[in-house]
Amino acid sequence: MKRLSALFLAVAMIFALSACGGSPSSSAPAAPAPASSEAAPAASAAPAAESKAWTPERSIELVACYGAGGGHDILLRTMQKVIVNEKLSSASFNVVNKDGGSGAIGMSYVNGHKGDPHYLMCTTSSFTTTPLKTKLGFSYKDFTPIALLGLDPSIIVVRTDSGITNLDELLATPDVSLGGTGTGTVDHIITTKLMEAKGVEINYIPYNGDGEQVTALLGSQVTSICCNYNTVAEYIGTGDFTCIATFTPERLTANPDVPTALEQGYDIEMSLYRGVCAPAGITEEQKQFYYDLMTKVNESESWHKEYLEANGVEPHFLLGDDFLAYLDEVNAEFTEAMTEAGLI
């Protein structure tokens, strides 16, 4: 009541002055604001300062877990080229090859830089399978998933001069051998499934990387190799190699004349995922830097033309937690497949 009485008194004084023709002096204090019967709201807090975007403090290492000329190397060097040519980032990037151990050497290297955002590692299915079969002390869960960039079809190729044109002919070859990248990998699982399907023995020969197995086939050291299309696209184009099967649901856009394994009577379907991860323990701002960069790469026409289309990789883009959910599913699938194949 006292607050309301004060209000009425103030108003009455104003009207009295107006009636007398007077006006408040410029030096007089301003009239108090009318009081309210309700409590005045608290002053709103100043908006929180936006998080400052992270900027790399030195060159970023793009880590390939296999040797030069392999799938990791091709992806990262193409990515580096697109980023530089299209000025997608002011940071500098340097491709580093850490091959060996079916990806274990490269994974261990990046795992040893926890909390340091200046490392971005290419990941494929060995990122999942190698920790399953080897006591590395870490798994895909001990890294920061950044982006899934595509799905790379698994295929089998032979030297064209071998005369082999399909899977039946390959498996009927005396002392048939098949090269792949490492043990317990997708290549190894496919080989095991082929042996089970046909009841034949295949001499599976593991190599440290795609480049080594390509060299082995060029030198007729193996009958065939299981790899990804991008690994041998050049040799298929020159006619040195012939792709005799793809382990995809449908024929490849890059080479639609090649029948799937299913079309040839082999119920085997497997592909490699292609993505990038950072070390564990990086900040949200540092993650966002890579999310934004990979989004720009994925939106680049040059990336689609020079990497995805050129290498027969199917577009499939996921970021952060969505990529992690994908890895969880893949890990469950590979655990089952490797257990059935007796690899773990």
Q: Are residues 132 and 159 in the same domain?
A: no
Q: Does the residue 332 lie in any domain? A: yes
Instruction: Please tell me the total count of domains within the chain.
Output: 2
pLDDT score of 252:
86
Q: Looking at the structure, do residues 73 and 137 belong to the same domain, yes or no?
A: yes
Whole-structure pTM value: 0.71
Please indicate, yes or no, whether residues 106 and 201 belong to a single structural domain of this protein: no
Same domain, 66 and 131: yes
pLDDT value at position 343? 82
pLDDT tens for the chain, 344 residues long, are: 433 333 333 333 333 333 334 333 333 333 333 333 333 333 334 444 455 789 999 999 999 998 888 889 999 999 999 999 999 999 999 999 999 888 899 999 999 999 999 999 999 988 998 999 888 999 999 999 999 999 888 999 999 999 999 999 999 999 999 999 878 788 998 999 999 999 999 999 999 888 899 999 999 999 999 998 878 988 999 999 999 999 988 888 888 999 999 999 999 988 889 999 999 999 999 999 999 999 999 999 999 999 998 888 888 999 999 999 999 999 998 898 888 878 88
- Sign of the CA dihedral with 50 first, then 53, 54, and 57 last: negative
Q: Do both 139 and 175 map to the same domain?
A: no
Are 126 and 80 contained in the same domain? yes
The residue segments making up the domain with residue 242 are 153-264
Cβ–Cβ under 8 Å, residues 228 and 155: yes
pLDDT of 310 reads: 84
Question: Which of 239, 264, 289 is the endpoint of a domain?
Answer: 264
Which residue among 244, 264, 284 closes a domain? Answer: 264
Q: Of the residues 247, 264, 281, which one is the last residue of a structural domain? A: 264
pLDDT confidence of residue 51: 56
Rounded CA gap, 64 and 72, in Å?
5
- Taking only the tens place, the pLDDT of each residue in 114-162 is 999 999 999 998 899 899 988 899 999 999 999 999 988 899 999 999 9
Q: Are residues 237 and 170 in the same domain?
A: yes
Whether residue 198 sits in one domain with residue 160: yes
Q: Is residue 42 part of a domain?
A: no
Position 47 in a domain: no
Neighbours of 80 (CB within 10 A): 16
Q: Does residue 37 belong to any structural domain of this protein?
A: no
Mean pLDDT, all residues of the chain: 85
Evaluate whether 228 touches 203 at the Cβ level (below 8 Å).
Answer: no
Cα–Cα distance for residue pair 108/105, rounded to 1 Å: 5
In whole angstroms, give the CA distance from residue 16 to residue 19: 5
User: Within this chain, do residues 158 and 260 fall inside the same structural domain, yes or no?
Assistant: yes
Q: Are residues 148 and 276 in the same domain?
A: yes
Same-domain status, 241 and 170: yes
Q: Determine, yes or no, domain membership for 32.
A: no
16 within domain boundaries: no
Which CATH number goes with the domain that contains 70? Answer: 3.40.190.150
Residue 79 domain-assigned (yes or no): yes
Q: Looking at the domain assignment, is residue 129 inside a domain?
A: yes
- CATH number of the CATH domain containing 233: 3.40.190.10
* Cross-strand partners of 151: 273, 314
| Same domain as 240, residue 319 | no
Cα distances (angstroms) measured from residue 109 to each of 61, 73, 96, 159, 236: 11, 16, 11, 35, 34
